[in-house]
């Protein structure tokens, strides 16, 4: 699997599980998989595959 342009190894599980295990907050990310945006409501339904290419954009607050 490729995440943000870098090899990320294999992961068995859903997109939501991946995000949580890697410290992302599901309400602060946008995920693109194979050229398509995945809506947040589908994170728990998307089962990741070994050949997936993900781009994860993480939003941060500040002031």
Q: How many beta carbons lie within 10 A of that of residue 48, not counting itself?
A: 19
Name the domain count of the chain.
1
Q: Which residues span the domain enclosing 18?
A: 2-58
pLDDT at res. 63: 58
> Alpha-carbon distance 56 to 30, whole Å?
6
Residue 63: inside a domain: no
The rounded mean pLDDT for the chain is 93
CATH value at residue 42:
3.10.20.30
Q: Give per-residue pLDDT as tens, 34-63.
A: 999 999 999 999 999 999 999 999 887 665
């Amino acid at each position: 699997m490729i995440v943000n342009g870098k090899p990320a190894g294999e992961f068995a599980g859903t997109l939501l599980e991946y995000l949580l295990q890697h410290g992302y907050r599901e309400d602060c990310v946008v995920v693109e998989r194979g050229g398509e945006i995945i809506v947040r409501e589908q994170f728990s339904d998307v089962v990741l595959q070994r050949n997936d290419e993900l781009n994860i954009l993480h939003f941060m607050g500040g002031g």
